Amino acid sequence: MIAPHGKPERVAGVYLAFSAVWILGSDWLLEAMVGDRSTGAALQTVKGLVFVSATALLIYWMARRELRRLERHHLWLRKVFDDAPVLIAYVTPELRYRFTNEGYARLYGRGGESLDGLQFTEVVGAANAERVAPVLRRALAGEEIAFEGEIVDSDGQPHWLHANYVLDLDERGRAEGVLIVIVDLTERRAAEAEIAYRANYDALTGLANRNLLLERLTAALAGRTNGHVALLFVDLDEFKQMNDTLGHVTGDRLLKNVAQRLAGCVHEGDTVARLSSDIFILLLSHIEQPSDAGIVAAKATAAIAEPFHIDELEVRMTASVGIALAPQDGEAAEALFACADLALSQAKQSGRGSHVFFAPVMHRAAHERRLLKDEMHRALQRGEFRVHYQPVVEMDSGRVSGAEVLVRWQHPQRGLVPPGLFIPLAEQSGIIRELGAWVFEEACRQLAVWQAAGHRWRLAVNVSSGQLPQPMSPQWLKTVLQAHGLAADALTLEITESALLGDTEATLAWIMSIREMGFHIALDDFGTGYSSLTYLKRFPFHVVKVDQSFVRDMVDDHADRTLVDTILAMARSLGLNVVAEGVETEEQLGLLRDMGCHHAQGYFFARPAPADEFPGWVARIEQRMPE
Ligand code: C2E
Ligand code: CA
Ligand code: CA
C-alpha cells in the first residue's frame, strides 16, 4: 500500500565508504605500529579498494533492481485495488489517508484524485465522520469491529455500506494504521427490498396483495379477543367490459384511483388489498359490531360511485360488496374468503352498488347453482325448457301490440325454475348460445302459427351478449326466418346495456346489419347501466325499455319520476318508442300515461304465460283497458 522507498546509490555509497575507511584505516594503523610499509602491503591496499568498489557496484545494481521490482509490484497492486469491486482506504492513527483506491475516492466525489495525506473528516464530511470516526478509532485501538450503515455521498445520495477494518501493526506492535475494506450494499439492498415488496404488494396499485392480506388476516384472527374481524370483497361492476371499451391504459388508471379511494375508507391498521384485476379486499382487523362493516361497505360503494375523471373523460362506476365476519362466519382465513366470495356473488345479483353480509344459506345456494349448471345441458336435450309470453300493451289504444318472449325451465324435480336463476349461469357457462338459439327458433315457430291465425303480434326476444355476434349472426337469423316464412320486422331483439359494453365495434356492426334486415332493436333494462345516454345516441335503437326499478319506485320517489320523465322526453326527441316494464298498479299506469309513455308491460295486465293462454289474455286486456 505504501509506496516503496530507499536509494540504492546511498546503500552502495555507505558500504563503499565504510569499506574504504576500514582498508585505508587498517593500512595506516599497521604503518604507525610497525613503522614499515612494504610495496607488497601497498598493493594489498589497492587490491582491497578495487574489490570493495566492485562489490559496492554490485550491491547498487542489485538494490536498484529490487526497487524497480517493488515499484512495478506496487503499480500492479494499485491497479488491482482500483479495479476491485470494493472501496479501500488506509488511514493512519491521526486519521489521515495514506492510500485510497479509486472507488473510495469516487464515493466522496474525488475520482481521479489522490487523497494521500488528507484528513479523514475533510474528505467524508462532518455528518458521515460523526458516525464512522468513532468506529475507526476503536479499530485503531485494536478492537475487532465492523461498521454497517448508511452514509451519504458527495451528491447527497444515501449508500448502505459494510466496512471491515484490518489493523496494521509495526514491529513493536503499535498501530501504524488501519486498512478499511468497504462493500457498497446499496444496490443489493434495493433489489432485496424490491423482491420483498413484490412478494407482498400489488405492482399496479401499491396495495397489499393476496400474500400480505392472508398474513394480516391470519394475524388478525389469531389476535382477536373480543369484537369482530371483517373481510369485505369489493368488486367493480362490469369492469372487464369497461376496460375493453376504454382501453387498458385508462383501465389501469381507473384501478389506481379506485385503490386510493378505498384506502381512504378504512382506519389505520386495516388493510386494503387487490386480489385480481377488479376485486379489492378490505380487511377490518377489529370492529366492535357487525354493523360497522356495513358502514365501511356503504362508504366504499359511495366512494366508487363518485365520478372518476381520467383526462377529459368522466367515468362512472359502481361496486358490489360481499362481507364475511369472524367469528360468526368462520375463524379460519380460507373459510372467511369463501364466505365473503359467496356474499359478493349475492351482492352482484342484488343489483349494482349493493353490499351483502354472508348468510349460511348462501352455501346451499352456491351448491344449487353448481347443480343447475351441470343439469342445464341435459335439460336442453330433454326439452325441459319452455317459452312464456307476456303481453305488451299500447297505451293509447289499449290494444296488445305483441309480447316479450321469456324462457322458463320446467325442471322434473324443482318445478318451474325462473330465468333469473339460470340465465346468469347459462351466460357464465356458455350454454346461453344453444339455449338462446332454441328460444329464438321457438318464438319464430309460435309467431308463424299466430300469423297464420291472422294475428299481427310483434314478438320481442331477449339476447345476451354471449350470443353476439355468434351464433346469432345475420345469416343464421335469416335461415331461421326463412324456415318459418317470417319477415324480420315482426320481431324485436332486446339487448341490455351491459351487452354493449364489450366489443363495442363488433356489437355496433351486428346491430347495423340486423337492423338492415328489418329487425327492431330494443335497449333493455334502460337506466341500470352506465353512461346510458351516450348509448341511446350512438346505437340506432327503435325501442327503449325503462327498467322495472324506476317504474316501481316512481310513485313515491320524486327523483325516479323525474328520471322516467327525462327518458321519455329524450326518447321522443330521438324518435324512439318507449316501453315501461313492470307496471303493477293503476297508479303507475296513470302516471306513465300522463307522461306520454307509448307502451307498457307488467303484472297489471298479465303475467308471462304459455302460448296457448296468450290469446285469452289479449282478449281480457283489450276489454278491460279504460279509454
Ligand atoms: P327482462 O328482460 O327484464 O324481463 C322482464 C322480467 O320482468 C321478466 O322476468 C318478467 O316476468 C318480469 N316482470 C314482468 N312484469 C312484471 C311486473 O309487473 N312486476 C315484476 N316484479 N316483474 C315483472 P323473468 O321472466 O323472470 O325474466 C328475468 C330475466 O331473465 C329477463 O329480464 C331477461 O333478462 C332474462 N331472460 C328471460 N328469458 C330470456 C331469454 O330467452 N334469453 C335471454 N338471454 N334472457 C332471458
Ligand atoms: Ca327483456
Ligand atoms: Ca328488462
Name the band, by pLDDT with cuts 50, 70 and 90, for residue 3: low
Quote the cell numbers at residue 229: 374481524
Ligand 1 atom closest to the Cα of residue 463 is 44
What pLDDT, in 10s, does the model give residues 208-258?
Answer: 999 899 999 999 999 999 999 999 999 998 888 788 888 889 999 999 999
Q: Which helix (H) or strand (E) holds 579?
A: strand 577-580
Q: What percent of the chain has pLDDT over 90?
A: 64
What pLDDT, in 10s, does the model give residues 106-149?
Answer: 999 998 888 999 999 999 999 999 999 999 999 999 999 999 99
What pLDDT, in 10s, does the model give residues 446-478?
Answer: 999 999 999 999 999 999 988 988 889 999 999
Q: Is the Cβ atom of 462 under 6 angstroms away from ligand 1?
A: yes
What one-character DSSP code corresponds to residue 598?
-
Using the predicted structure, report yes or no on whether residue 156 has a pLDDT greater than 70: yes
Please state the rounded mean pLDDT for residues 32-40. 70
**pLDDT for position 532:** 61
**pLDDT for position 26:** 79
Furthest CA-CA distance within the chain: 172
Ligand 3 center to 499 CA (angstroms): 13
Residue in 376, 375, 319, 381 with CA at minimum distance from that of residue 351: 319
Using the predicted structure, report yes or no on whether residue 496 has a pLDDT greater than 90: no
One DSSP character per residue, 331-396 reads SSHHHHHHHHHHHHHHHHHT-TT-EEE--THHHHHHHHHHHHHHHHHHHHHHT-EEEEEEEEEETT
Helix, strand, or coil (residue 271): strand
Using the predicted structure, report yes or no on whether residue 501 has a pLDDT greater than 80: no
Please give the torsion angle defined by the CA atoms of residues 93, 94, 98 and 103, in that order, rounded to the nearest 10 degrees: 90
**pLDDT for position 626:** 56
Which of residues 423 and 504 earns the better pLDDT score? Answer: 423
Q: Is the Cβ atom of 436 under 6 angstroms away from ligand 1?
A: yes
Q: Is the Cβ atom of 548 under 6 angstroms away from ligand 1?
A: yes
Using the predicted structure, report yes or no on whether residue 34 has a pLDDT greater than 80: no
Ligand 1, from 386, 440, 462: best to mutate by most atoms within 8 Å of Cβ? 462
**pLDDT for position 530:** 54
Nearest ligand to the C-alpha of residue 423? Answer: 1
What is d(CA 68, CA 57) in angstroms, rounded to the nearest whole number?
17
- How do 520-526 and 543-546 pair as beta strands? parallel
Please give the CATH topology (third level) of the domain spanning 368-622. Answer: TIM Barrel (3.20.20)
One DSSP character per residue, 141-204 reads TT---EEEEEEE-TTS-EEEEEEEEEEEE-TTS-EEEEEEEEEE-HHHHHHHHHHHHHHHB-TT
**pLDDT for position 370:** 85
**pLDDT for position 32:** 78
Strand partners of residue 274: 280
What pLDDT, in 10s, does the model give residues 577-610?
Answer: 999 999 999 999 999 999 999 999 999 999 999 9
For helices 333-349 and 210-223, the axis angle rounded to 10 degrees is 110
Which of 38-42, 404-408, 417-421 is least confident? 38-42
Q: Is the Cβ atom of 423 under 6 angstroms away from ligand 1?
A: yes
What pLDDT, in 10s, does the model give residues 387-401?
Answer: 999 999 999 999 999
For helices 248-263 and 239-246, the axis angle rounded to 10 degrees is 130
What is d(CA 438, CA 421) in angstroms, rounded to the nearest whole number?
18
Ligand 1 atom closest to the Cα of residue 406 is 38
Ligand 1, atom 45: nearest CA belongs to which residue?
462
Task: State if pTM tops 0.85.
Answer: no
Contacts for 133-141 with beta carbons within 8 Å, 24 or more apart? Answer: 133/95, 135/163, 135/165, 136/91, 136/95, 136/165, 136/178, 136/180, 137/95, 139/165, 139/167, 139/178, 140/91, 140/93, 140/167, 140/175, 140/177, 140/178, 141/175
Q: Is the Cβ atom of 205 under 6 angstroms away from ligand 1?
A: no
Is the N-terminal amide bond of 474 cis, ω within 30° of 0? no
Is the N-terminal amide bond of 471 cis, ω within 30° of 0? yes
Q: For 84-189, CATH number? A: 3.30.450.20
Which of 12-16, 440-444, 497-501, 611-615 is least confident? 497-501
Q: Domain coordinates of the chain in residue numbers?
A: 8-77, 84-189, 201-359, 368-622
Please give the CATH topology (third level) of the domain spanning 201-359. Answer: Alpha-Beta Plaits (3.30.70)
